[in-house]
Every structure is written in structure tokens, then in C-alpha cells.
């Protein structure tokens, strides 16, 4: 899905991005990234959902996971993900607060085993956005508004981005996020 935009809605990206970092986002550097393959073209945005522990919102557990600082013994659920080294480019909290963990010039570790339009390894050519939430819980209006603005800004910086999909679209059967509660019609 491509998020439509009118000329008056387009962000002025010249001042918004510096070396793949969005100035309006809180920056927390993750060590979980790598270089994109030479000649890769960013043309996909993947939307995810996450909460740690599942169904609990707020706190710093997601940021700690993405920066390899999560105390595995802090909650029984964390034993199930012990040792995970993952990240996303962006994380949108329930109140719309935006955090960036990885430069969009680099490959974040968000998609795992994945395929889109016959190409595997979606991390190579995508930007990953995590929404604080759970697959079957409704997301907040502030999150949708921030997501829409972020996607507009990404599309302005990367005119090649044509598709916006869910994690479930690139890893069917393995992933469900952002899930049934995600309102794709919000972007129509």
C-alpha cells in the first residue's frame, strides 16, 4: 500500500534528515544493524508491533531489547526471547513519541526470514517501523498520525518507497503483526 500525499502535506526533508537520522525523532543508537548490500534500493516500509512484556505498555523494555540491555530475568517472558539481537529503524510509542534506533542508510534487524515480491532478506531493502502494541489490541490515534507523518517523510527522502506492508505480509505463517487490530483504512 502506498500512503497518498498532497503537495501541502509533503515534509521538507532537506532539513529533516541527516545521514539517515530523522531530526524530530529521539535518537537511541542500537548496535543491532549492518550495512545494506551495495546497490540496494530502499523501496519498502514494514510495519510491526511490539510490547514487552506482551500486552504491557510504557517503560523502557523495548528500547533495552533493541540496545542489548534487557535484563533477561526482569520478567518471566523475557526467557523466551533471551539472547535476541533485534532492532528496528523506528519505534512509535502509544502517545505518538518517535524513537529512532538505526539510520535508514543502514539495515536494521527487524524482518528476519522474509520475502516481498520475489526478493528475500527484506532487511536489505526496507525500513522497519515498530508500533507499541499487540497484534489484537487497538492502536492509538496518536500512533497512526505519527506513522502517517513518518511514512510521508520517508517517501520524500526515498521516492523509491512504493509499498508499505505488515510484517505478516513478508513473513506469512511466521508473523502476525501488526495484526487484525491495525487499521489500514486510516491511510485511505
Q: Determine the Cα–Cα distance for residues 38 and 46; give it in Å rounded to an integer.
A: 21
pLDDT of residue 30: 98
Confidence at residue 187, expressed as pLDDT on a 0 to 100 scale = 73
Catalytic residues, by residue number, are 130
Q: What is the mean pLDDT of residues 133-153?
A: 96
**Average pLDDT rounded to a whole number, residues 123-149:** 97
User: Is the Cβ–Cβ distance between 33 and 102 less than 8 Å?
Assistant: yes
Whether the per-residue pLDDT at 148 is higher than 70: the answer is yes
pLDDT in tens, 56-70: 999 999 999 999 999
Question: Where does the pLDDT of residue 7 fall: very low under 50, low under 70, confident under 90, or very high at 90 and above?
Answer: very low
Bridge partners of residue 44, in order along the sequence = 126, 163
User: Which are the contacts of 122, defined by CB distance < 8 A and separation ≥ 6?
Assistant: 44, 46, 111, 114, 115, 116, 170
More confident residue, 9 or 100: 100
HEC-encoded secondary structure of 75-132: CHHHHHHCCCCCCCCEEECCCCCEEECCCCCEEECCCCCCEECCEECHHHCEEEEEEE
Check whether 94 has a pLDDT greater than 90.
yes
Q: Which of 38, 186, 47, 17 is nearest to 126 (CA)?
A: 47
The whole-number pLDDT of residue 8 equals: 45
Q: Could you tell me the pTM of the whole model?
A: 0.93
The chain-wide mean pLDDT, for the chain, equals 93
Q: Residue 69 burial by CB count (10 A; 0-12/13-18/19+): exposed, middle or buried?
A: exposed
pLDDT tens digits, 21-75: 999 999 999 999 999 999 999 999 999 999 999 999 999 999 999 999 999 999 9
Domain segments of the chain: what residues? 13-187
Domain 13-187: assigned CATH number:
3.40.80.10
Q: For the chain, percent helix, then strand, then coil, each to nearest 5?
A: 25, 20, 55
Residue 114: the pLDDT is 98
How confident is the model over 105-118, as pLDDT tens digits? 999 999 999 999 99
Amino acid at each position: 500500500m502506498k500512503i497518498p500525499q498532497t503537495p501541502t502535506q509533503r515534509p521538507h526533508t532537506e532539513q529533516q534528515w541527516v545521514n539517515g537520522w530523522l531530526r524530530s525523532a529521539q535518537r537511541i543508537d542500537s548496535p543491532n544493524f549492518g550495512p545494506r548490500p551495495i546497490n540496494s534500493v530502499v523501496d519498502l516500509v514494514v510495519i510491526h508491533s511490539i510490547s514487552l512484556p506482551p500486552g504491557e505498555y510504557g517503560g523502557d523494555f523495548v528500547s533495552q531489547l533493541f540496545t542489548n540491555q534487557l535484563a533477561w530475568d526482569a520478567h518471566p517472558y523475557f526467557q523466551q526471547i533471551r539472547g535476541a539481537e533485534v532492532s528496528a529503524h523506528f519505534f512509535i510509542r502509544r502517545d505518538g513519541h518517535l524513537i529512532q534506533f538505526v539510520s535508514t542508510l543502514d539495515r536494521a534487524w527487524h524482518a528476519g526470514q522474509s520475502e516481498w515480491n520475489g526478493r528475500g532478506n527484506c532487511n536489505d531493502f526496507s525500513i522497519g517501523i515498530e508500533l507499541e502494541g499487540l497484534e489484537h489490541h487497538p492502536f492509538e490515534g496518536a500512533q497512526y498520525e505519527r506513522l502517517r507523518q513518518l511514512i510521508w517523510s520517508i517517501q520524500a527522502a526515498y521516492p523509491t518507497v512504493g509499498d508499505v506492508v505488515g510484517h505478516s505480509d513478508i513473513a506469512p505463517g511466521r508473523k502476525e503483526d501488526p495484526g487484525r487490530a491495525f487499521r489500514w483504512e486510516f491511510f485511505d
